[in-house]
Structure formats: structure tokens, C-alpha cells
Amino acid sequence: MVQRGLTNFFESFLQKESLFREKKVIQSNYTPDVIPHRDKEIGLVANILAPCLRLERPSNIFIYGKTGTGKTLSAIYTTNQILEVAKPKGIPIKVIYVNCKMRRVADTEYRLITSVLNEFGVSVPSTGLPTEDIYNVLIKKIETEKMILILVLDEIDQLVKKAGDGVIYNLTRLNEQLADVQIALIGISNDLMFIDNIDPRVRSSLSEEEIVFPPYNAIQLKNILNNRVKRAFKEGVLEQGLVEKCAAYAAREHGDARRALELLRVAAEIAERSSSEKVKIDHLDQAEQKIERDRVIDIVTTQPKQQQAALYSIFLLAQKTKTALYTGDVYTLYKEICSKSGLRPLTQRRLSDIIGELDMLGIINAKVISKGRFGRTREIIVAVPQNIQKNVTRILEQNLDLR
């Protein structure tokens, strides 16, 4: 790096006009004051949750809809509103939000309860205790006072897929052991098939109420974007038709509003970095690339070494052969990779599971097929565009200490 010019660089950076007015408005963790086109859904949620203001346990809610349809946002928004009413009146309501997808945070029963406890400010060992004990700690903690506990479980399908549906059963049964505290669950899932594959008893208790969030259409998306653009950007920094194009992109991808907003923000960041005075359509295309790349890189690099080695083998093989890959081939190469990078190779049994996990992450598509006389295997197809694949392969190479 040229270090002498750095002060100058920062100076000129400060002088440069930013394209943003209030950048946080289009950042992903921002909760807007109004959520357009979700009045009906929010009304439903509010109706169901309202009894908790009278200290009655509301029904459990199961919310589903594709990603970026405002499920999480609506749930958080509604519960926040309830809290706002409840707080000045001293109504004891507590809302806890847990994202079950976060690997190594809340993807097992034990870890879920642990993260709930963390919300209460109680820290418990990450391992070593019986799950039963952890429940008891929780019970003891919340039983001290009368209250309604609303537990929002985001991406609940991931949790059930890994830890089984007993978790939800246990949670609902917790109510029987608690005299003064009532727990209501809000399960959020973007897997529409999920609810059909769980124990009917669990199902009926989880989805006492079901709410479906339909995807936004292009016009609605445009509306949402415009709403935020007004506050987020300075006037006239967006090229004509940019918002429309952005909405169209996202509508094509099953009406994902989160994606549309992210697309716009990243495009603006790119424009800013290249010291352009306007955000142009061209920046939008670059942003689309960058988002996808960052997403993949993020998933890949937070994965444990073994998974990375497996993925590296898959990528390498995919680049060599044009046809689909099979588990056996991957395992052979994987073992080689392991010895090169000083990793202890796992068994094929385990690799098979890892391939399943990678499939769940959406990095690859693995389908079990039968090749008849030539056995049964998984057909693996990489679900990442070529150029990004190369990019990621290089990163993996470094991570795994290969040359």
C-alpha cells in the first residue's frame, strides 16, 4: 500500500459528497416505521397477539412465506408495537427473538435454550450439562414473575430439520409446568413443505394460527423501494429508472424485498467508491454480482475446515469435468486434499452427511439418483456461477494451506 498518500486519501474522502442521506435506512437491520403492503398480515398477527395485553396466552402462530416477504420484519414490528403499549402500563410481556439458522448458535435444542437464556442475561455452559438441566435453569429464571413470553423462532424449519420436532413439543409443554408464565411461540419458516413433514401433534400445537405471506409484485416492490429511497439518498443521485429496474430484478426472484433493498444499497456503494455522482444501471449489475459473491464467500468461510475441504474438492472436480459429480469421486479427491493440507480425512459416511449439509446451504444441489446396474449415489451440481466459483476456490485454497 502507498502509505504516504493515505492522509490525502482520507482528506479527499471527507470532502467528497456522499450519495447517502441516511444510509442506515436501507441497511438490512433497519426496521421502518411503516411496512407497506403488509397491512392485512400485520393486522392478523396483531389480532392474535393482542390477548397477551390482558395477560392471556395468545395462540401460537406459524408464519410462512418466501424469503424477503417481510415475515421477520412484520413479526418484530408487531411485537415491538405491543411492547410499546405494554411498557408504560406495566404489563409484563417479554419478547425473545432467536434465529435458528445461525450455525453453532441455535441449531440444536440445547443451543436454542442456551440462546434464550442469554437473552435473559443468564450465561450457561456451552456444553456439559444435560438438556433437562438447561430447561430447569430457564424455568427457574422466568418463573420468578408473572409474565407472557413471546418466543419468535426465525427459520424454525432449520432447527426442526436438524434437531427434530421434539424441540417444539418440549417448548409447548413447558406451559404446563409454569404457573405464572405463559409462552407463546411464533414460528417463522420459508420452507412451505416444512409443516407437512412434522409430527401432527406438534403441528397442531405450533400452528394454532397460520399466516401466509405472499411475495411482493414488481409494483409493490417499487413502492417499498421508493419509500426508503426518499430518506436514504440525496435527491437526484439515482439515475432515471433505476428503482424500477431494481424492483424488476427482485420481482423476478420471487419478490424478495430484502434483496431489492440490498441491491440498491450495494449499487450505491459501488457508485460511491468509483466516485460516480449518480448511481447507474451499470452499478446495479455489478452489485448483483457482488452480493452473490459475498453471500457465497460468507457461507463458505464460516464453515468448518472439513466442510471447506469437501467443498474445495467438489469445486475442483466440477471445474475439471463438465458432467455431474458423484459422491465416490468427491471422496477420492477429498482424501487427497486432506493429506495435502494435513487434515485428518473423515469417513465416507460422514462426507455423505457433509454433502447433505452443503446442499442445505444452497451451495450445491445434491440429488440421490440410482444409476441402475452402476449403483446408487448422489448427483452433485454446483449451484454457484462459474466466475464466483473460481473466486471462492482461491479463497478455499488459502484457507486450507494448499499451494
Partner DNA sequence: CGAGATTCATGTGAAGTATACCTTTAGGCTTAA
Partner DNA sequence: AAGCCTAAAGGTATACTTCACATGAATCTCGTA
Residues at the interface with DNA (CB under 7 A): 104, 108-111, 125-132, 304, 306, 326-329, 331, 344-350, 352-356, 368, 370-378
Contact criterion met (CB below 8 Å) for 379 and 367: yes
Closest approach of Cβ 122 to DNA, in Å?
12
Helix H or strand E encompassing 367? strand 364-370
Q: Name the residue nearer to DNA (CB basis): 19 or 156.
A: 156
Neighbouring residues of 238: CB distance < 8 A, sequence distance ≥ 6: 229, 278, 279
Residue 372 CB, nearest approach to DNA (Å): 2
Q: Which is nearer to DNA, 36 or 164 (CB)?
A: 164
CB of 390 to DNA, least distance (A): 26
How many beta carbons lie within 10 A of that of residue 290, not counting itself?
17
- Min dist CB 200 to DNA, Å, is 19
User: Which residues touch 377 (CB under 8 Å, ≥6 apart)?
Assistant: 326, 327, 328, 368, 369, 371
Q: Which is nearer to DNA, 212 or 360 (CB)?
A: 360
* Cβ distance to DNA smaller for residue 293 or 335: 335
Q: Which is nearer to DNA, 93 or 338 (CB)?
A: 338
Residue 182: count other Cβ atoms within 10 Å of its Cβ. 19
Comparing CB distances to DNA, the nearer of 125 and 200 is 125
CB of residue 347 vs DNA: minimum separation in angstroms? 4
Q: Which residues contact 272 (CB under 8 A, 6 or more apart)?
A: 18, 19, 20
| Dist CA 307 CA 14 (whole Å) | 43
Q: Which spans in 233-370 are helix H?
A: 242-252, 257-273, 281-301, 305-320, 327-341, 348-361
Q: How far apart are CA 253 and CA 287, in angstroms?
A: 15
CB of 370 to DNA, least distance (A): 4
